[in-house]
């Protein structure tokens, strides 16, 4: 685990970091007082125009907010400006002092911010807090008639798990659209199923448990509305959409939407449009996740807090370790050993056992989407190992 447990009690400094385990990072403090104009002038004289993280401490010596910026001077000055947004004004009025800690690179500031939020849980921070952001997965499960649903507790009985994702209300709405579009049930697992090809000891005509069968958004496996084979075909189609990126369902929804609009059935067209947009956004989200988990395993060289260079070991979209770049036999040996742990060949071995951190995956994904040229600076695992060998490291068995 990269991040330490939550700190409690009086705030006396940010503390150490996994980004530079061998160094003590000292933050500079700035007491608030006087008019906003005078405080802003004093702040601009003392605060560096560098990337980094900052914090706000209240009168009870509690850290109430943590942020990051690619220019600390401009960001902190904005809190004291006349045109500050209401949220910023509210936070700054609760603070009695500011502190900041420069970072050698904007990406390091992003990682440090997430680390500090998880350590201190400031009350004005929402994103990144251990108790607020949970790991969620899209699952296909619930025999004999599987359905798509969002779960925070994956089961081995599930036929498919996609994630990690943030289990938000929007994600749950989009997964319900998956069930509607592929005509899968969304009723509780305890609901009895009666398939059309199922032999019954006491024949009768079961009644649908909801209106989705009548609306055409469910095959009705609870009321002999389909055979097992027909329902299984819809489950396979949903699985292909969630895992393989098949977009036939989006094309079908778009055609149906346009036909409804041509018939001037605008209410139905609007409902189809909402489902089409929701599934399209889910498709893009899953494609980004798939790309990151598949392709984002590399070494990312960046400036370090020591003034030299560090290697960020990124495995399946997560920064798993930060080590000194190899410059002599000792650092090359340490880097080689760290890569052996992180990029273990077999799943579940060493550091390569994914901790499934949706915040970290989102951070890494967004960084490289916004800075695509940075991917050209990364090193493949083989290339990084060759650099370690050239610096004097012995091969790892």
Q: Does the pLDDT value for residue 397 go beyond 90?
A: no
Domain boundary among 246, 264, 293: 293
Q: Do 106 and 180 fall into the same domain?
A: no
Q: Which domain holds residue 55?
A: 18-120
Least confident of 25-29, 296-300, 369-373: 25-29
Q: Do 143 and 271 fall into the same domain?
A: yes
**What is d(CA 64, CA 41) in angstroms, rounded to the nearest whole number?**
23
Q: How many domains does the chain have?
A: 3
> What's 87's domain CATH number?
3.40.1440.10
Q: Do 69 and 104 fall into the same domain?
A: yes
Q: Do 336 and 208 fall into the same domain?
A: no
Q: Do 213 and 147 fall into the same domain?
A: yes
- For 271-297, write each residue's pLDDT tens digit: 999 999 999 999 999 999 999 999 999
Q: Do 333 and 253 fall into the same domain?
A: no
Higher pLDDT: 205 or 335? It is: 335
Q: How confident is the model at residue 346 (pLDDT cuts 50, 70, 90)?
A: very low
Q: Do 284 and 210 fall into the same domain?
A: yes
Sign of dihedral through CA atoms 152, 154, 160, 165? positive
- For 37-54, write each residue's pLDDT tens digit: 788 899 999 999 999 999
Q: Does the pLDDT value for residue 67 go beyond 90?
A: yes
138: left (phi over 0), alpha (psi -120 to 50) or beta: beta
Q: Does the pLDDT value for residue 126 go beyond 90?
A: no
Q: Residue 101: name the closest of 27, 25, 11 by CA.
A: 27
Average pLDDT, the chain: 88
Q: Do residues 114 and 360 lie in contact, with contact meaning Cβ atoms separated by under 8 Å?
A: yes
């Amino acid at each position: 685990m990269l991040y330490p447990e939550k700190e409690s009690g009086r705030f006396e400094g940010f503390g150490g970091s996994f980004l530079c385990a061998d160094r003590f990072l000292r933050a500079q403090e700035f007491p608030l007082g006087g008019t906003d104009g005078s405080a802003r002038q004093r702040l601009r004289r003392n605060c560096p125009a560098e990337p980094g993280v900052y914090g706000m401490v209240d009168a009870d010596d509690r850290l109430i907010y943590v942020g990051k910026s690619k220019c600390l001077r401009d960001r902190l000055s904005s809190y004291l400006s006349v045109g500050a947004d209401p949220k910023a004004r509210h936070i700054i009025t609760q603070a009695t002092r500011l502190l900041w800690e420069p970072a050698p690179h904007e990406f390091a500031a992003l990682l440090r911010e997430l680390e500090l939020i998880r350590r201190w849980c400031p009350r004005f921070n929402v994103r990144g807090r251990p108790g607020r952001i949970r790991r969620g997965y899209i699952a296909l499960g619930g025999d004999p008639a599987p359905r798509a649903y969002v779960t925070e507790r994956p089961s081995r009985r599930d036929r498919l798990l996609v994630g990690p994702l943030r289990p938000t209300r929007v994600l749950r709405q989009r997964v319900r659209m998956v069930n509607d579009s592929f005509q899968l049930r969304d009723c509780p697992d305890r609901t009895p199923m009666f398939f059309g090809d199922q032999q019954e000891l006491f024949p009768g005509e079961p009644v649908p448990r909801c209106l989705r069968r009548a609306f055409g958004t469910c095959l009705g496996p609870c009321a002999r509305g389909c055979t097992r084979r027909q329902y299984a075909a819809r489950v396979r189609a949903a699985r292909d959409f969630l895992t393989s990126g098949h977009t036939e369902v989006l094309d079908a929804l778009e055609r149906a939407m346009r036909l409804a609009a041509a018939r001037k059935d605008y209410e139905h067209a609007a409902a189809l449009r909402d489902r089409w947009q929701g599934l399209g956004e889910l498709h893009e989200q899953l494609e980004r996740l798939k790309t990151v988990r598949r392709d984002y395993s590399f070494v990312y060289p960046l400036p370090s807090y020591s003034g030299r260079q560090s290697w960020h070991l990124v495995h399946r979209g997560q920064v798993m370790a930060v080590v000194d770049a190899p410059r002599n036999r000792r650092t090359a040996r340490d880097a080689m050993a760290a890569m052996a742990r992180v990029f273990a060949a077999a799943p579940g071995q060493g550091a390569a056992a994914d901790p499934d951190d949706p915040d970290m995956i989102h951070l890494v994904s967004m960084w490289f989407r916004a800075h695509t040229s940075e991917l050209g600076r990364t090193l493949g695992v083989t290339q990084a190992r060759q650099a370690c060998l050239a610096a004097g490291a012995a091969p790892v068995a």
